[in-house]
Structure 1
Amino acid sequence: MSTKENLPFVHTWVIKDFQHFYDKQNLLRFIISEPFNSPFSINSSNETNLEYTWRLIVDIENIREDISLYIVALQTDFERKKNANDRISVFEFKVFKNQYGNKNLVEELGTLNKISFIHKTRFGIKNAHGGKLCKIDQLLPNNNTSIRTDIIIRAHIIEPERVQLNDFNDNNTIPPLLLSPSLEQFFNNPHFSDVIFTFDCGSELSASRLVLAAKSTYFMNMFSGAWLESNQSRIVIKGSKYEYYRELIYYFYNGSLGSDLDFDVLKGLFNEANMCQIEDLVRIVANRIVKMISNEIWHEILLMGWRFNNNDLKEGGLKYVYENWMNIKDTENMKFIIENLNVECMEELMAARFFGVGK
């Protein structure tokens, strides 16, 4: 196994004459970089050196107030072959401006992430990762476009860990190595926590902001300064049960779910994971729920699939309808579900009843 150190990869993107983009703000929304590659080494008996592919995007839609910077993961042939849906890396963006005057001064505007964040990035522009970069008056004081101004963006990217070839699993994702299983010992441990969640039932749950932000963009945004909770050491959770939130945070630390979770807890956990945009957990919980389907709960699973637009739940429910129609067609659950359907859902239900799912 190679002992080569995981050094940061730095890509520099120069946007020349940015003042012209400001003048054309009604015609453009994005400035998009050329694709670039960062190293991705996979350790095996024969080490294989691959590359990740990325693009940077500057959003200038609200340019009169501020501009935003995002990084987009582009799926490589290797990732497509392995059915990987996302990748995990650490990002930090440093931004400079170069104004051509008497001194041609290069000035650092700041760092988008003052602390480098580990982030799971799904492929495609809709899943870009980033945020507000700076105010426009930091680039063009007094909206002065007469001075030639270049923007220099340096993207620092590093893999959190090396990946073994045989680590690709049944969840169609490169495994989330950012959290070691050994972190389970720190779960709900006040000695290694800096935030406490409180619940209506009186229970409390301790956690580390770093662990939560590393696993979830939702919590990263919560703690990065824009939300009220960013500076609070105690956060009150309304409308969610302690049991649901406990399983959510436990998953962040341990990377797995308890084997004995009942349907009600899984429903609540699915709702929390969906709200927090923890897509890998959403898939895991949905698959666990579908495996529990029965005459008593099929209608709830199907309604959840429609409500959250989740194909796993919806297809699991519709398949159950097709395979068990004679047993469920005259039940109270069927009556309930028909009374709560819109026209489109009713069409799907009837199509599944006669033709099955995916046919």
Structure 2
Amino acid sequence: MSAAYSAVHNNSCLPFIHTWVIKEFQHFCDKQNLLHFIISEPFNSPAPNDSNNNIKLEYTWRLVADIENIGEDFSLYMYIVALQTDFEREKELNDRISTFRFKVFKNQIHGNMNSFEEFIMFNQNSFTHRTKFGIKNAHGGKLCKINQLFPNNDTSISTNIIIRVHINELEKSQNDFKNNINNSSLFSYSLEQFFNNPHFSDVTFTFDCGSELKASRLVLAAKSTYFMNMFTGEWTESNQSKIAIKGVKYEYYKAMIYYFYNGSLDSGLNFDALMGLFSEADMCQIEDLIVIVANKIVEMISNENWHEILLMGWQSNNNYLKKAGLKFVHENWLNIKNTENMKFIIENLNVEWMEELMSISKTNFYRRA
């Protein structure tokens, strides 16, 4: 049994807050009848208005409590799920960039005692995430072990779990986000003097080429929820001082870590390096870096590389790269339709991508007619 309520402040700078209460949580933790997923009812939060039609929009979400069994330990994980709205479906949007902050509490009634306690979530700070739609793309992390919720493993204690999620949508444009992202960072000043500095590092990344890169866990975790989860979760790497990075070029990973320390990109990155950096940022879900690198890549689009940008947009589900690639095809169709790059794209298409490309070619055909 669960209950929920929401609150939104008139001041748009303050977050929307939704509270989900899972009552009698102890019943879900009975190992004889363990229910792994507990899913909240859908709830809505304010979304940026459609400036073209002045329509008031909302985003739809669900929260998920997941009890996972890792070895002999049962642990509680919390996730947020983005549900695609009719407006997003109409606009062919596949994800949304949002900021989140979780607060989780437990309320226990044991005899005449009534206790209320806050639990430290995987990341108490607000974090930005590109949330794709659907439960398989839920974003979150580990809260605690189940036995931490119940003294002496006594699951007969009446226990309510209260989850509060703060959601504050990013209404900035790509360029605004790129120019102002450092203002929201934990470290707003450059740490370049500490980059790859062994005196201020406690983890070393090794690469297939034999190169090594030193970094601070604190800096990486502060800049990225991916690294926060790596160093604080159940990952093998969480307790390792040396972490092997397989199948990734040293230059790409170095550029990502450099960004964490300096707050800006290395000015010497060429197109190939930017594409490699984009792949790493996308895999690690470094949302601010994804936006900045995508902007740089699009600025360099040409007859020689448009096919790589378009394919990357499709493969990473990045609308900014995809639309830039399709726009280039539309505007340069006669010059590129019979090229090796077009042949390369066609050989790598799936049905959905083929339909998008065909719609561009048909538009050009009718335009010429």
The TM-score normalised by the length of structure 1 is 0.69
- Matches of 1:318 and 1:29, distance apart in 2: 41
Residue 239 of structure 1: how far off its partner (Å):
0.5
How far apart, CA to CA, are the structure 1 residues paired with 2:148 and 2:26? 12
Give the distance between the partners of 1:314 and 1:346, measured in 2 at CA. Answer: 13
2:76 match: 67
How far did 1:196 drift?
Answer: 0.9
Q: What is the distance in 2 between the residues matched to 1:349 and 1:35?
A: 35
Partner of 1:342: 350
* Offset at residue 265 of structure 1 (A): 0.4
Letter in 2 for 1:68: Y
User: What CA distance in whole angstroms lies between the structure 2 residues aligned with 1:244 and 1:290?
Assistant: 18
User: Displacement, 1:247?
Assistant: 0.7
Change (3 A) 1:324 1:97: same
Report if aligned partners of 2:178, 2:292 keep a CA contact under 8 Å in 1.
no
Tell me how many residue pairs correspond in the alignment.
Answer: 311
CA distance in 1, matches of 2:100, 2:43: 21
Whether contact under 8 Å (1:245, 1:272) holds in the other structure is yes
Q: Which residue of structure 2 aligns with residue 211 of structure 1? A: 219
Question: 2:67–2:74: 8 Å Cα contact kept in structure 1?
Answer: no
Does 2:92 match 1:86?
no
CA RMSD of aligned residues (A): 4.5
Distance 1:268 1:339, change over 3 A: same
Deviations 1:211-257 (A, max 9, x none): 11111111111101411111111111111111100110111112211
When normalised by structure 2's length, the TM-score is 0.67
Kept after mapping to 1: 8 A contact 2:185/2:223: no
Matched with 2:108 is 98
Change (3 A) 1:216 1:264: same
2:255 aligns with one of 247, 251, 255? 247
Residue 267 (structure 2) aligns with: 259
Matched residue SS, 1:258: coil
**5+ long unaligned stretches in structure 1:** 1-10, 37-54, 74-83, 160-165
Residue aligning to 1:17: 24
Q: Could you say which residue in structure 2 is the equivalent of 1:200?
A: 208
Which residue in the other structure is 1:290 paired with? 298
Percent identity among equivalent residues?
54
Displacement after TM superposition at 1:180 (Å) = 1.9
Shift of 1:150: 2.6
Structure 1 residues 236 and 271: alpha-carbon distance in aligned structure 2, compared to 1, 3 A threshold:
same
Match of 1:39 in 2: none
Matched, 1:30 2:36: no
- Displacement of 1:327 in angstroms is 1.5
Q: For residues 151-162 of structure 1, what are the structure 2 equivalents within 5 Å?
A: 151=160, 153=162
State the one-letter code of the partner of 2:145.
Answer: C
Q: What SS does structure 1 have at the residue aligned with 2:192? A: helix
Q: CA deviation at 1:69?
A: 3.4
Q: Does 1:315 align with 2:323?
A: yes
Asked if 2 retains the 8 angstrom alpha-carbon contact of 1:305 and 1:313, the reply is: yes
**What one-letter code is carried by the residue in structure 1 that aligns with 2:39?**
F
1:236 is the counterpart of 2:244:
yes
Q: 1:133 aligns with which of 131, 139, 144?
A: 144
User: Whole-Å Cα distance in 2 between the matches of residues 295 and 168 of structure 1?
Assistant: 24
Name 2:198's counterpart in structure 1.
Answer: 190
Find the aligned partners of 2:304 and 2:194 in 1 and give their Cα distance.
Answer: 38
Aligned with 2:160: secondary structure?
A: strand
- Per the alignment, residue 300 of structure 1 pairs with 308
For residues 235 and 156 of structure 1, do their structure 2 counterparts lie closer, same or farther at Cα, with a shift above 3 Å needed? Answer: same
Question: Relative to 1, partners in 2 of residues 1:67 and 1:35: Cα closer, same or farther, differing over 3 Å?
Answer: farther
With over 3 angstroms needed to count, the CA separation of the structure-2 counterparts of 1:151 and 1:347, relative to structure 1, is closer
**In 1: Cα distance, 2:296 partner to 2:187 partner:** 22
Letter in 1 for 2:110: Y
Closer/same/farther in 2, CA of residues 135 and 302 from structure 1, 3 Å limit:
same
Check the 8 A contact 2:79/2:138 in 1, yes or no: no
Question: Aligned AA for 1:306?
Answer: W
In the alignment, the residues of structure 1 paired with residue 221 and residue 362 of structure 2 have an alpha-carbon distance, to the nearest angstrom, of 46
